[in-house]
Structure 1
Amino acid sequence: MRLIALAALLALPAVAHAQTPASVEQPLLHEVVSQVDQARMHSDITAMVGFGTRHTMSETDSDTRGIGAARRWAESHFRTISTECGGCLEIALPADTVTGPRVPTPTEVVNVLAIQRGTTDPNRVIVISGHIDSRVTDVMNFTDDAPGANDDASGVSAVLEAARVLSKHRFAATLVYAVLSGEEQGLLGGKILADYAKAQGWVVEANLNNDIVGNSEGQSGIRDTTRVRVFSEGTKSVETALQAERRRYNGGEVDSSSRNLARYVDGIADRYLTNFDVDMIYRTDRFGRGGDQTEMLRAGFPAVRISEGAENYDRQHQDLRVENGVHYGDTIEGVDFDYLAQVARLNIATMAALASAPMVPADVTIEGAVKPDTTLRWSAVPGAAGYRVWWRSTTAPQWTFNRSAGNATSLVLTGVPIDDYFFGVSAISADGYESPVVYPGPAGAFVSVGDPPARPR
């Protein structure tokens, strides 16, 4: 009989590619996707390139050149957007004076944030970020022109476009649009952002870090306009030794909060974008390289890096020059604005979906050792009208099976053995917005938790 029950469960409809990030089709997400204006993004990148260099150690007093002029321009841009939405954005300029291997003299590093407060859950925060600083071949060269059109004016343009589109709407959670500085000198802006978030007491549910998102022609010359990469860490940067021991024993290596955030972004692309797919990369970042999301991860916040599918290294971290007929340098000619607009749409729809859904369920636990059934329990979260339990084979990349728990805070999966699957829970609002899936225990928690109890012997 149990075999029959299990067969019946596995016969339930499965999601074809990824967790469905909204239980019902959401007109708002289609609307915000349609409002992206690539001409504005072109104008924004043109303006940033026009500052000559935006190197972290470049001049700050000029109104036309250097990092100071660039960040004041970004602040002005946010203030204009805020005026258009009736003052809905608060501007913050968290800063720190730093020295280090790539900053030999004390230098003030300033981030520019625009904060759109949530209506009912304002302490829950969704962050989109990109870095405004640029560089050439020598990371210490702060005088030569460093246009940084793709790295990372493209990411900043996505941040600004997200602010312009989403500020016209109201959401349960708070949205933060972050223009960061100092990335090329050692992820300085990411650290300042993480410290600021902690000081504000923000519960950061997601950081979407956009870094190098505007090029579609790879080093080989092959153009890829339909794929964007989303990098996510597998095991948490803040994992304790005891948590690591438990995870190694019971699993969770591919179910960190950041990894399930990546699955959520993938689901958004599948449902709300046309001919544009997320390629989930099971790494924190590109091999041997880094981005500002790393500092958010070190602070215990879920974060992913969004990057173009095909990089061209002739256009990254290069002096402007022509050698043997090859043009080097990160100029605006290397930006594909049709492609960049798709990346912006992905970010905007993801932010709107996350901010409209409830927070992921809290305190998720699981039991079923030496039992034929699996039981999951969790704590209720504000704004949730119901919950859904998900499971998948331990070798499957995406959540495939699910069952509604109604508004209960526990569910028994009869005939589904705990040993054979990975499990998680999502929360659903009354109007059908769904949170990411949270995997049980510290390995998957979206808010860092203490060590688990001792394992029974």
Structure 2
Amino acid sequence: MKRLPLTSMTLALCFLSMHSQAQVTPAYQDQAQLHAIAKAVSPQRIEQDIRSLVGFGTRHTLSETQSDTQGIGAARRWIKSEFEDISKACGDCLEVYYLSKNISAEKRIPDTTEVVSVIAIQRGSHDPNRYVMMSGDIDSRVSDVMDATSISPGANDNASGIAGTLEAARVLSKYSFSGSIIYAALSGEEQGLFGGKILAEQAQKDGWRIKAVLNNDMIGNIEGINGVINNTTARIFAEGTRQTETAEEARSRRFTGGEVDSPSRNLARYIDWMADRYIPNLDTMVIYRLDRFGRGGHHRPFNDLGYPGVRIMETNENYHRQHQDLRTENGIEYGDTIKGVNFAYAAKLTALNAVSLAGMAWAPSPPVNVQIKGAVQPSTTLSWDTLNTKQNPQLKGYKIYWRYTDAPQWQFSRYVGNVDKFTLENVVIDNYFFGVASISNDGAESPIVFPGAAGAFGE
């Protein structure tokens, strides 16, 4: 046998030592119910809902509210009735209500206007105050953001997100979960993200433990302005350092890392991980930015208050179909009409939302108070608070994950049992990023929590 040089031998032994720690016991357990959920999402029902929303003419925040057939008032009453029908079919499993607030003296809402969102909550059986959320936006607009009367179909932006949220509710309401799921049709997005602000502030006031916000804004277009036509990719936008970070926390992060491991980033990694396992022919791009360059969406008000939240959307946008008056110029059709929506693709992204929501709601809560030690030591020790067993009766134990610091996704893992502390022998803290996930008895996993304040998903 050829003898390795000492330096190579040493490196090989270190490599083997590190990988001996990466025992996946138990290995990830494929969830048959998540495959069933993904397959249950219907492109036909999504098409019907988008056509219904387009039929209201305009859904501008400042538009008609008294008509039964036109304007945002008719649209939100229709959405509420759809949620109520879904609830009736599952034995009144949803709490459906309006959430509103009068807004005035704003740049895009100069006169007093009631901004009304529609909320439906599917309560968890054991931990009802732990929430994951899917949202879409009710309102639409044309070129002039203050034009509340012109026809504004908003087929993709954002009837597609509302249709996806309704369809996710239809599918998931057939199951019961440990944690609660919020389905939100938010208003006032184009006028200043007001629906999200109202809900986020109410959630904070009421002490909701929101672990994930999945904002769906434009999930139906596959024909890009750049000529690319692709129905196999999607984007997940996720902010880095959380908005609520204190100066002391920022100083600590400078020495321990965490810039790319905010709860929103690890939520995005979780969704990307779900896509790989449960959504055929879909590759998600996790984009390290709050939203598209210089722009924003309805997850931002939740991020502003420290809640983990991401934006899920199509990869290839067509700006001729966004925020445009209906017209044809130089052979180009402008406007957000039904022609620009691919219903099978919208269903694919809806399925991604549904399996992600279900996976998190079935899993135990993400670990709390995750800490790490190992400076100038050969090994790395992680610790966390054990979860409340009344809220998490499905808890089996915990799994430690780690990856190289420049790797986009978690690479190595070890199940460590139902403990609150574990040492990875001969895995040097300086060379990797680490995190901890909670595991259920049937193998459902929570998002991974990076140690310290930078990665915390909250209590």
TM-score bracket for this pair, using the shorter chain length: over 0.9
Aligned position for 2:339: 333
* Residue 294 of structure 2 is aligned to residue 283 of structure 1: no
Please say if residues 22 and 434 of structure 1, whose CA atoms lie closer than 8 Å, have aligned partners that are also in contact: no
Matches within 5 A, 1:37-436: 37-99=42-104, 100-381=106-387, 382=389, 383=392, 384-436=395-447
8 Å CA contact 2:40–2:171 kept in 1: the answer is: yes
Distance (whole Å) between structure 2 residues aligned to residue 303 and residue 216 of structure 1: 24
Post-superposition offset of 1:350: 0.5
Secondary structure of 1:422's aligned partner: strand
Deviations 1:133-186 (A, max 9, x none): 000001011010110000000000110000000001100000110000000000
Equivalent residue, structure 2, for 1:11: 19
Question: In structure 2, how many angstroms separate the alpha carbons of the residues matched to 1:128 and 1:447?
Answer: 19
Post-superposition CA distance 1:69-107 (Å, at most 9, x none): 000000000000011001000012111101211001010
8 Å Cα contact 2:398/2:419 also seen in 1: yes
For 1:26, the equivalent position in structure 2 comes to: 31
Residue 113 of structure 1 and its aligned partner are, at CA, apart by 0.5
Question: 1:398: how far off?
Answer: 0.9
The amino acid of 1:278's aligned partner reads: T
For residues 216-258 of structure 1, give each alpha carbon's deviation from its aligned partner in whole angstroms, at most 9, with x where no partner exists.
Answer: 0000222110000000011101111111111122210000000
Displacement of 1:13 in angstroms is 9.4
Q: Which runs of 5+ in 1 are unaligned?
A: 449-457
Secondary structure of the corresponding residue to residue 94 of structure 1:
strand
Q: Relative to 1, partners in 2 of residues 1:2 and 1:431: Cα closer, same or farther, differing over 3 Å?
A: farther
Q: Residue 444 in 1 paired to residue 455 in 2?
A: yes
Is the contact between residue 25 and residue 415 of structure 2 (CA under 8 Å) also seen in structure 1?
no
Specify the code of the residue in structure 2 equivalent to 1:130. G
Residue 21 of structure 1 contacts residue 436 of structure 1 at CA under 8 Å; is this kept in 2? no
Which stretch has the larger CA shift, 382-391 or 278-287? 382-391
Task: Give the counterpart letter for 1:327 in structure 2.
Answer: E
Task: Tell me if structure 1 keeps the 8 A contact 2:122–2:180.
Answer: yes
Paired position in structure 2 for 1:451: none
Q: 1:22 to 1:93 in 2, by over 3 A?
A: farther
CA contact (8 A) 1:424 1:437 kept: yes
1:430 aligned partner, one-letter code: N
SS of residue paired to 1:93: strand
Alpha-carbon spacing, 1:12–1:268, altered in 2? closer, same or farther (3 Å): farther
Which amino acid letter does the alignment assign opposite residue 164 of structure 1?
R
Q: Go from structure 1 to structure 2 and tell me whether the alpha carbon gap of 1:416 and 1:283 turns closer, same or farther (over 3 Å shift).
A: same
Query: Following TM superposition, by how much is the alpha carbon of 1:7 offset from its aligned partner in structure 2, in angstroms?
Result: 2.2
Residues 10 and 401 in structure 1, CA contact (< 8 A), matched pair in contact too: no
3-state secondary structure, aligned to 2:52: helix
Q: Take 1:238 and 1:158, find their aligned partners in 2: how far apart are those partners?
A: 30
Give how far 1:417 is off.
1.1
Distance 1:112 1:13 in 2: 48
Decide whether aligned partners of structure 1 residues 265 and 318 sit closer, same or farther in structure 2, where only a CA change above 3 A counts: same
Q: What is the letter of the counterpart of residue 68 of structure 2?
A: D
Q: Secondary structure at the match of 1:125?
A: strand
2:402 counterpart letter in structure 1: W
Matched-pair identity in %: 54
Quote how far apart the aligned CAs of 1:412 are.
0.4
Q: What residue in structure 1 maps to residue 5 of structure 2?
A: none
- The secondary structure found in structure 2 opposite 1:134 is coil
Deviates more, 1:382-391 or 1:351-360: 382-391
Contact in 1 for aligned 2:193/2:297 (Cα 8 Å): yes
- 2:140 and 2:25 map into 1 onto residues whose CA distance is 37
Deviation at 1:14? 7.3
Q: SS of 1:177's equivalent?
A: strand
Render the CA deviation track for 1:351-405: whole Å, top value 9, x for unaligned: 1100000111111000111111110000111422110111111111111011111
| Rounded Cα–Cα distance in structure 2 between residues aligned with 1:329 and 1:309 | 19
1:336 maps to amino acid: N
Alignment check: 8 A CA contact 1:3 1:415 kept:
no
The alpha carbon displacement at 1:273 in A equals 1.1
| Contact in 2 for aligned 1:217/1:311 (Cα 8 Å) | yes
Question: Which runs of at least 4 in structure 1 moved beyond 3 Å after TM superposition?
Answer: 1-6, 9-15, 19-22
Preserved contact between residue 59 and residue 68 of structure 1 (Cα < 8 Å): yes
Question: Does the 8 Å CA contact 1:387/1:405 hold for their aligned counterparts?
Answer: yes
Asked whether the equivalents of residues 257 and 444 of structure 1 are also in contact (C-alpha less than 8 Å), the reply is: yes
Q: How many pairs were matched up?
A: 445
TM-score, normalising length: structure 1: 0.95
What is the CA–CA distance in structure 2 between the aligned matches of 1:14 and 1:284, rounded to whole Å?
Answer: 32
Using the TM superposition, give the Cα deviation of residue 410 of structure 1 relative to its aligned residue in structure 2, in angstroms: 0.7
Q: CA deviation at 1:201?
A: 1.6
State TM-score, norm by structure 2.
0.94
